A and B are shown apart, each in its own frame.
Chain A
Amino acid sequence: MPPKRTPTASRAAGGSKRNANANSKANPPPAAAAAAAAPVSRKPAAVKRSREDDRDAPAHSTEENLLAGKINGGGGKGKGKASARVAEEDEEEDQDDAEEFEIDTGSSNGDLDDFLDREALESPADDEDEEDDDDDDEEGYNTSDIEAMENASGDDEQDDDDVDDTSSIASSSIAPSTVPDSNLTLDQLIAKHTYKPDENMDIYVSQATGGRPLVGDATTGKFSNSKEGTGRLVPSKFVKGALMREYDEIEAGYGSESSTEENTNTIGNVPIEWYDDLPHIGYDVSGRKIMRPAKGDELDKFLATVEDPDSWQVSLPPGVCSPDIAYKLLQKQVQLSDKELDIIRRLQNAENPDADFDPYQETIEWFTGKGNEMTMPLSAAPEPKRRFVPSKWEHKKVMKIVKAIREGRIVPNKPVVEKPRVYGIWSNDDMENPPHAMYMPAPQIPPPRTVESYNPPEEYLYDEGEKREWEQQEKEDRKLDFMPQKHDALRHVPGYENFVQERFERCLDLYLAPRTRKVKLNIDPESLVPKLPSPKELRPFPTACAVQYRHPANSRVRCVSVDARGEWVASGSEDGIVRVWDLGNGREVWRWNLKGGPVQAVEWSPNKEECILSAAVAGRIYLLAPLALISPHVAQTTLTHLNTAFSSSSASTTNIASGKPVVPDAKWVRPSEDERDRGMMIIIEVQGTPKQVTWHRKGDYFATVAVDATNKSVLIHQLSKHQTQSPFKRTKGAVQRVAFHPHKPHFFVATQRYVRIYDLVGQQLLKTLMTGLKWISSMDIHPLGDNLIVGSYDKKLCWFDLDLSTKPYKTLR
């Protein structure tokens, strides 16, 4: 090896190193180097030589300087087909070529192969395979391949190196021993397809070339491996001294897709960069690593481009995919020959890739033409008469037309009578179409106003602010589609530039704008406002304060009630004191300190014969009677009414009289005698805080509402029996207010949004009034019982006419 480190040499060295790694035992790098060192002649024209021949006469090879050194060491040999590829360069000539040549020394089958291989390698010109050019494995086409193809036209193309190898081995064993050089390819073909490799023999077989007899062991080799295992026996990698079977690769038939594939890298469509850090670039069909081919550095590339006149060919033309992929996958440079380029060009031009194909060749007339006439007709029937007699029906038709022309019914080129272009279409007794809801004539453009004048009064002109506003507004938002202008003479008026645009928009409006009917009310807005009597007409009504009921400064009044006869006023305040005032002069005449927190409600009984005041504090309802103030007769009735139940039943008044649900928690308590003397007649202990007390008109029943007492929020108390009922097992919503119907046994319950009317006798729901309010605050019934007013916290008032509907008759804000 010369000391000079040329690019190719370095490449070769790198490659050899890598290959040495991959190479198992078969090819020690020195051997490879030795093999590479010797110039190996090669015939690019796929001249097949036997190994012996090569060994014998390296010097005889005519093109030594070409150094097509490629020693392909036997095909389907075991694992590592590990070809030690060492590119050796011929110092003198091959630098010019910059062509990379490979010496492939693959391991042969088994030990013997290896041995032989080594032998072969030792002999420098050992070219064991005959098809050195055809199949530079894992590479795509190269020039020599194509040439080989050309030359050996009859030769079956062998793409797959491994397959070739096996078959060549096989073929060598069966091919005729003496084959003339010229028939070599044919021989190969035959051999390949007729001979099977013999795995047992492990004899290195080579093919005879150049008229030498084939050294095969046709006599001992087994032609079929179907009988005794199909694999070759090779020393096992895993167990020392054992043999393992290794199988041939399957040769894909011509029809198979893989037969045409020259790319044996099977990594698929993954980025090749993933293999950048690895010594190999992928795997072949049988899963063996494909080592990275030798590759020069940038300097090499540059030199190659400089020195090689063919370097432009390396880059593939755009649009050619498959060679490109092969190039990438195998990390090799591809050289395209003129022929290949021609094929690519033809494919690009959508022509037939075969240059010899003639698309316009002469047609061969098989059935017609001269000399192909049938001697016998198909039918012997004579020509029918209708073929040569004029049609009767056509004649009839024609005669019809002729007759019509004669009679003047058909006048050729008769002048068309033109309808007059204009004529009267309206008469005086035209009627308009009857009016229809879907008839919507387009509105007319309103007449122009003074502001549109060429010389308007000055006040119509825009000042600066208005001008700016007009300019800034969107076109659609402008009140006027033009800026008012004033010209001092008619001759100064310019053309209006939006004229066409406006006409066009009008036309668009006429046929594109959706129309709808809008009723335009031409009424005085004041006619919408209802007439109300003025407050003056509603006199007399109190206009000044007459009486003041002065409470102590720190007490806030929560509730007030006037008694049925109009003598007293009762008020309950937050300090828990119920006061009774003389209505006329505002003097405080009585007071009870209930000591139960703020008084929530006070209410006089509506019965005029009695004088009972109910007051509610948290958890208790008091029935009070200012006995000292009232007339004895009234006091007597009051007392009787209040005390009847005490006398009839025992003091504990939670009796169960009827089937009605009686509330055990409501307890009618008789206060102490002192308190009774002060007028506190009965205490009813209930759950929760009653917020409202409302009396039945007759004064025997009264109802209380305590919102926080859940299902016992509404209680109805009967005074004469000291009995309390909870009419509802379960209330729908939080009850706000309750009320008794003035004369019917009906009971009104107002929850937050609805008012429900229950029949107390029938014990059923009669009606639900939809108030439409958010939160009901108060409710009252007209004394006649057919009108109901409901107030709410959202400042609304609903007026129901109970005879009419469940919806409010009127809602006032």
Chain B
Amino acid sequence: MAKIKKRGESGAAKNYITRTQALKKLQISLSDFRRLCILKGIYPREPTNKKKANKGSSAPASFYYSKDILYLLHEPLLAKFREHKTFAKKLARALGRGEWALAKGLEERKPLARLDHLVKERYPTFKQALADLNDPLSLLSLFERLPRDPVPGKTQVPTEVTAECGKLLAEWKIWAIRTHALRKVFLSIKGVYYECEVPAGRSGETVNVRWLEPWEFKQTVPADVDFRILLTFLDLYRTLTSFVLFKLYTDENLVYPPQLDVKLDAEGEGIGRFKLAERAPDALAATTVEGEKKITKKDVKKSIRSVAHSSAAAGGMQVDEEEDVLIKDEPAAEEEFTYHPSKHDAEASDPSNAPLPTYTSLLATAPSDGPATAEKGYNIFAPYTFYLSRETSSRTWEFVIRAFGGKIITTPSLNALSTVPEVASQITHILLDRPMDAATMRTLQGTNKWTWVQPQWVADCVNKRTVLPAGEGSGYEPGGTLPPHVSPWDEEGRDDRPWLGTEASAAAAAIEAAASEDEDEEMDTAEAGEELTPALRAAAENPQDSTLVHQAELEAEAAGVDHAAFKKQLAGAAKKGAAASGSKPAAAAGGEEDLRKIMMTGKKQRLYEKMQYSNNERRQESDKLASKRQAIEKRKKKGGK
């Protein structure tokens, strides 16, 4: 006889555990459990049958996978939590008794929880870590600018945390600048979206990392935002980002963490306060992954080869490093080394006419794979030097422009530029975000050839990977009406806007023309339709039948209609008939479809209807957009006339 199955011993009942049960099992408080869940990445599940999972009860509960909870039982973090609890007790006792020496000793031996093992555990491969980097970078960029007490009287954000967030983000951005990893920029009402393409391994795989940076304003923080949760997340994210950065820097053969230039930092420099440094050749072998314990012959050979390689390239690299640092730290000072861009505006705006990169400029801008980067348009701004006006966000534009090879000048104010002619002559583009009349611009410009643009121009160039024309009439000039800023991710998804391209507008025009023609014709046929004789109608229905046509002709003659008029009538009637028959097959097809739907099983039918519904929704949405667009264009046309 088969073994009798008992209730609640297998399946969903065993697979899932409610939160209360989990708390009991782990013997921790709810807040500790929350921290554990956040750090370990444990999340509740939605069982297919809640009643089965909850042992027959239908009371609302959140279910966890019971093996997750079992693994938590021997989590080192849990032990650390307990250690910390006892430590807190001891410290409070010592402080309460005024035993300062003891308290100091305790404080020195304070148990510190490290999250290294979690990073490796949650992201076994580097690719997975990169794939999950969107949220960390977004949260870091939020915390970068948060005040110490975002919600007064509640959890405080330590300043060290905020500072570390800023540091990590700056390191990330420096890396992106150096490797030209930035791909897309999108200025949204929520903030600036960036997308970087990050190499995920040796095999040439890349992962797109997208993050959102808020606008540089004071954040409105609702009182119900629990910063304990956010800070727990931030703990994990800081650790994860630092390990990712370590890997990225090491792969680039850079020292991590980069050195912080204290002087520049004090001056309020953003990204530029960090100095990148190449690693010493002998460090290469040492910094192989810790996991590799045994040193095989292969390893030895490899290290020898790498050492030889690096020593061979040492001279060039040294130059490169110096260049890089120079560029980063004092952009104005290294102008003499850069190529002077062409004086002609047209040439300047056309990338095909852009000057050929010299050896030094290539090294400076593209230390790793210069030509490839240039080909793909990842250093479109290489020939240019941008002057950032005060009102533009240097945090955003310095990063974007430098990531695409451009150079930045911010130091003297716009009015004072004329006093420093050697700086002014270097500038090719002025990034200005305020209206300014042409006369003022001319006076400021003097003899220099500057292109005045609004910041959106940079973002649009980046997304198109070409240098867009920025003269009068393009809309990018200061005070001009900007062309719409479109999301670079629209092609990836379902949003299609055929009317935005050039060919699309032609298509739209064609549609419109057809519509107007239709209107005319409709009027014609309406006139003709009144006097259709039965014979003519029959002839129109099948114009190939010569006898019917002949009959109709005879009738027309009898009625005194001349031949040309009759021909026209016949054609109109035939067209109408065709339209009618055209709709008829459609109807027939509809009937046939109904027949086919009868043959579907209920399950498939439901699925089919669901799909049709969602497709319809989408179609309606895009139709709505299109019709709105048409209405707008019509209105504009009328206004123009």
Q: Mark interface residues in A799-813 (1 if CB within 8 Å of B CB, else 0).
A: 000000000000011
Q: By the criterion of a CB under 8 Å from any partner CB, how many residues of chain B are at the interface? A: 109
- Asked whether B150 is an interface residue with its Cβ less than 8 Å from the other chain, the reply is yes
A424 touches B625 (CB 8 A): no
Contact call B189/A515, Cβ cutoff below 8 A: no
Q: Mark B215-226, 1 if CB is under 8 A from A, else 0.
A: 101111110011
A498 to nearest B CB, angstroms?
A: 8
CB under 8 Å from chain B, chain A span 442-479: 442, 444-450, 452-460, 463
Whether, in the assembled complex, A312 has its beta carbon less than 8 Å from a beta carbon of chain B, the answer is no
Give chain A residues whose Cβ lies under 8 Å from the Cβ of B291: 425, 427
Contact of B492 with A by CB under 8 A:
yes
Are the CB atoms of B596 and A525 closer together than 8 Å?
no
Q: Are A499 and B142 within 8 A (Cβ)?
A: yes
The stretch among A209-217, A415-423, A633-641, A674-682 that forms the contact with chain B is: A415-423
Complex CA gap A811/B129 in Å reads 51
Partner of A482, one of B189, B215, B628: B189
Judging by beta carbons under 8 Å apart, are A495 and B220 in contact? Answer: yes
Q: Is the CB of A528 within 8 A of B214?
A: no
Confirm or deny: A321 has a beta carbon within 8 angstroms of a beta carbon on chain B: no
A-facing mask of B282-312, CB < 8 A → 1, else 0?
0000011111100000000000000000000
Within the assembled complex, what's the spacing in Å between the Cα atoms of A515 and B41?
Answer: 12
Interface centre among B125, B218, B592 (most CB of A within 10 A): B125
Give, as a whole number of angstroms, the nearest-CB distance from A508 to chain B.
Answer: 7
User: Among A432, A454, A496, A529, which residue has its beta carbon within 8 angstroms of that of B124?
Assistant: A432
Given contacts A419-B114, A430-B126, A482-B190, contact A450 B43 (CB under 8 A): no
Contact partner of B135 among A446, A506, A535, CB < 8 A?
Answer: A506
Q: How near does chain B come to A455, taking the closest CB pair, in angstroms?
A: 4
User: Residues of A contacting B625 with CB < 8 Å?
Assistant: 459-460
B600 interface residue per 8 A CB criterion: yes
Q: Given the known A-B contacts A423-B246, A503-B142, are A457 and B484 also in contact in the complex, defined by CB atoms under 8 Å?
A: yes
Cβ of A385 to closest chain B Cβ, rounded Å? 37
B632 within 8 A of A: yes
Cβ contact within 8 Å between A503 and B222: no
Instruction: Say yes or no: B187 contacts A490, CB within 8 Å.
Output: yes
Q: Mark B608-627, 1 if CB is under 8 A from A, else 0.
A: 10011001000000000110
Asked if A438 and B65 sit within 8 Å, CB to CB, the answer is yes
How many angstroms from the CA of A431 to the CA of B193 in the assembled complex? 31
For the complex, give the distance between the alpha carbons of A485 and B44 in Å.
37
CB of A452 within 8 A of CB of B256, answer: no
Q: Is B368 an interface residue (CB 8 A)?
A: no
Q: Is B391 an interface residue (CB 8 A)?
A: yes
Name which residue of chain A comes closest to B486, CB basis: A450
* Residue in A425, A445, A448, A452 whose beta carbon sits within 8 Å of that of B243 in the complex: A425
**B597 part of interface (Cβ distance < 8 Å):** yes
Asked if A494 CB lies within 8 Å of chain B CBs, one says: yes
Is the contact region of chain A dominated by helix, strand, or loop, or is it mixed?
loop
Determine, out of B314-322, B413-421, B493-501, B512-520, the stretch whose residues face the partner at the interface: B493-501
Output the least CB separation between B305 and chain A (Å).
16
Beta-carbon contact of A514 and B188 below 8 Å: no
**Chain B residues whose C-beta falls within 8 Å of the C-beta of A457 in the assembled complex:** 484, 486, 497, 500, 629
Q: A426-B125, A450-B486 are in contact. Are A499 and B289 (CB under 8 A)?
A: no
> Whole-angstrom distance between the alpha carbons of A529 and B500 in the complex?
35
A-facing mask of B481-511, CB < 8 A → 1, else 0?
A: 1101111011011010100100000000000
Q: Are B62 and A514 closer than 8 Å at their CB atoms?
A: yes
Most chain-B CB neighbours within 10 Å: which of A425, A502, A515? A425
Give the contacting residue for A812; candidates B119, B456, B598; CB below 8 A. Answer: B598
Q: Tell me the bound Cα distance from A515 to B63 in angstroms.
A: 10
The answer to whether B484 touches A456, judged by C-beta atoms less than 8 angstroms apart, is: yes
What is the bound-complex CA distance between A148 and B15, given in angstroms? 83
Cβ distance B628 to chain A, nearest Cβ, rounded Å: 4
The docked-state distance in angstroms from the alpha carbon of A531 to that of B120 is 52
B579-596 interface with A by 8 A CB criterion: 592-593, 595-596
CB within 8 Å of A: which B261-291 residues: 287-291
Contact B43 A422 (CB under 8 A): no
Bound-state CA distance A455–B221 (Å) is 26
Chain B's nearest CB lies how many Å from the CB of A432?
5
Q: Which chain A residues lie closer than 8 Å to B455 at the CB level?
A: 490
Q: Verify if B355 is at the interface (C-beta below 8 Å from A).
A: no
CB of B634 within 8 Å of the partner chain: no
Q: Do the beta carbons of B604 and A500 come within 8 Å of each other? A: no
Instruction: Mark out the residues of chain A between 480 and 520 whose CB falls within 8 Å of any chain B CB in the assembled complex.
Output: 482, 484-485, 487-491, 493-497, 499-504, 506-508, 510-516
* B67 CB within 8 Å of chain A: yes
Alpha-carbon distance A433/B127, docked complex (angstroms): 12
User: Known contacts being A499-B191, A503-B142, A515-B46, is A453 close to B229, with CB within 8 Å?
Assistant: no
Residues in A whose Cβ lies below 8 Å from that of B497: 450, 457
Q: How far is the CA of A513 from the CA of B45 in the complex (A)?
A: 8
Q: How many residues of A contact B (CB 8 A)?
A: 74
CA distance A489 to B455 in the complex (A): 9
- The answer to whether A511 touches B37, judged by C-beta atoms less than 8 angstroms apart, is yes
Is A425 in contact with B116, judged by CB distance below 8 angstroms?
yes
A532 contacts the other chain (Cβ, under 8 Å)? yes
> CA A500 – CA B223 in complex, angstroms?
11
Indicate whether A812 sits within 8 Å of B125 (C-beta atoms), given known contacts A427-B289, A529-B608: no
A432, A454, A512, most chain B CB atoms within 10 A: A454
Residues of A within 8 A of B215 (CB): 493-496
Is A521 interfacial (CB-CB < 8 Å)? yes
- Which residues of the partner chain B approach A490 to less than 8 Å between Cβ atoms? 187, 392, 433, 454-456
Q: Is the CB–CB distance between B225 and A455 below 8 Å?
A: no
- CB-defined contacts of B214 to chain A, threshold 8 Å: 495-496, 499
On chain A, the residues within 8 Å of B201 by CB distance are: 428
Q: A514-B63, A534-B592 are in contact. Are A453 and B219 (CB under 8 A)?
A: no
The residue that B129 contacts in the complex, of A426, A510, A535, with Cβ under 8 A, is A426
Asked if B27 lies at the interface with its beta carbon under 8 angstroms from chain A, I say no
B433 to chain A: closest residue by CB: A491
Complex Cα gap A491–B114 (Å): 43
Contact among A430, A482, A485 with B125 in the assembled complex (CB-CB below 8 Å): A430
Interface status of A540 (Cβ within 8 A of chain B):
no
Chain A: minimal CB distance from B258 (Å)? 12
> A453 and B484: CB pair below 8 A?
yes
- Which residues of the partner chain A approach B598 to less than 8 Å between Cβ atoms? 812-813
Please report the C-alpha to C-alpha distance between residue A766 and residue B597 in the assembled complex, in whole angstroms: 35
Within 8 A of A (CB), among B202-239: 202, 210, 212, 214-215, 217-222, 225-226, 229-230, 233
Q: Are B38 and A511 touching (Cβ within 8 A)?
A: yes
Which residues of the partner chain B approach A440 to less than 8 Å between Cβ atoms?
A: 43, 45
B608 close to A528 (CB less than 8 A): yes
Cβ of A528 and Cβ of B481 under 8 Å apart? Answer: no
Interface core residue of B188, B217, B596 (most chain A CB under 10 Å): B188
B253 within 8 Å of A by Cβ?
A: no
Bound complex: CA A499 to CA B188 (Å): 12
With CB as the reference atom, state the residue of chain B lying closest to A508: B229
Whether, in the assembled complex, A377 has its beta carbon less than 8 Å from a beta carbon of chain B, the answer is: no
Interface membership of A412, Cβ < 8 A: no
Known: A433-B124, A529-B600. 4 other contacts (CB 8 A): A422-B257, A423-B290, A424-B250, A440-B43
Q: What are 20 A-B contacts with C-beta separation under 8 Å?
A: A425-B247, A426-B125, A427-B289, A432-B128, A447-B493, A450-B490, A450-B497, A452-B189, A490-B454, A495-B219, A495-B220, A499-B191, A504-B226, A507-B135, A512-B43, A512-B62, A514-B63, A525-B615, A529-B600, A534-B592
Binding site for A on B (CB under 8 A): 15, 34, 37-38, 42-46, 48, 62-63, 65, 67, 114, 116, 119-120, 123-126, 128-129, 132, 134-135, 138-139, 142, 150, 186-191, 193, 201-202, 210, 212, 214-215, 217-222, 225-226, 229-230, 233, 242-243, 245-247, 250, 256-257, 287-292, 391-392, 433-435, 454-456, 481-482, 484-487, 489-490, 492-493, 495, 497, 500, 592-593, 595-600, 604, 607-608, 611-612, 615, 625-626, 628-629, 632
The 3 closest A-B pairs by CB, nearest first: A495-B217, A447-B489, A427-B289
